[in-house]
Amino acid sequence: MKIAVLSDIHANIHALEAVWDDLKNENPDGVFCLGDLVGYGAFPNEVISFIRDHEIPTVIGNYDEGVGFDLADCGCIYRDPFLSRLGEQSLKWSREAVYSEHKHYLQMLPIQIRNEHHRHRLLFVHGSPRKVNEYLYEDRPQATFERIAKLAGCDLLLFGHTHLPYQRKVAGTWFINAGSVGKPKDGDPRAGYILLSLERRPKVEYRRVMYDVKAASRSIRQAGLPEYFADVLEAGGLESIDRSVYLERSVE
């Protein structure tokens, strides 16, 4: 039994289509998505349509919630005023761009999905079982993982939100972060997803897929979104030039 897990597509249809072509070659028995279909990228409606057309079971992400319910906050918890200002621009653009029927779809997404394969209990969430927008980084204290493992009640916890792939076993639970399809933050601009083999002992394969990053970043600029998002996308989530340049270009 093998399943593919996607997360944090963030309106990047170029990355999603490339990942789909790759996973088709791997022929998984199922595909799941951990949310954040929208935000930052220029193709939110196209991504939502793709997920709906392929009937991919999907949980709601914090950005899906912010756009779907027309909230004033995407739940990203920015601690940096510069990123907060750009995030506001992204949320406003996304709320205005997403069709009403697609907002209704986002509203109906579940907070979590539970599944069982070959006696393995799986739980799919966006941030954590505690909060949709909890950042469960790999270096969080052991006690945090222990508390979440007890709450989750599963053998494998699949989540995203941080855009940083990793796996860690704590208190009998495998914590598996699927990384990001459309907005990686680990310095590798390629799209990322995972293949999970559910044999007697589960195995995780982290896949990275080449796609036309330039076309995706160009579409961000053409859509009138902050150019910072385009530059960071090309750099795999890392800042590449002095912030003062973005302040002059993007922040009024």
Q: Is this model's pTM higher than 0.75 or not?
A: yes
User: Which tens digits make up the pLDDT trace of 128-178?
Assistant: 999 999 999 999 999 999 999 999 999 999 999 999 999 999 999 999 999
**C-alpha to C-alpha distances, 15 to 20, 42, 43, 95, 117, nearest whole angstrom:** 9, 12, 11, 21, 28
* Residue 174, phi then psi, degrees to nearest 5: -85, 120
CATH number of this structure's domain 2-249 = 3.60.21.10
Q: Would you state the structure tokens that stand for residue 189, as one six-digit string?
A: 């601009």
Q: What strand order describes the sheet that includes 113-117?
A: 113-117, 120-124, 156-159, 173-177, 166-170
Q: Are the C-beta atoms of 39 and 74 separated by less than 8 Å?
A: yes
Instruction: Report the amino acid identity of residue 215.
Output: A
Polymer length of the chain: 252
Distances (CA, A) of 88 to 35, 52, 71, 73: 19, 27, 11, 8
Neighbouring CB atoms inside 10 A of 155's CB total: 19
Indicate the domain borders of the chain: 2-249
pLDDT digits (tens, 9 = 90+) for 2-52: 999 999 999 999 999 999 999 999 999 999 999 999 999 999 999 999 999
pLDDT-based confidence at residue 252 (cuts at 50, 70, 90)? very low
What's the rounded Cα separation, in Å, for the pair 218 and 58? 28
Indicate the range of 34-38, 135-139, 181-185, 241-245 predicted with least confidence. 241-245
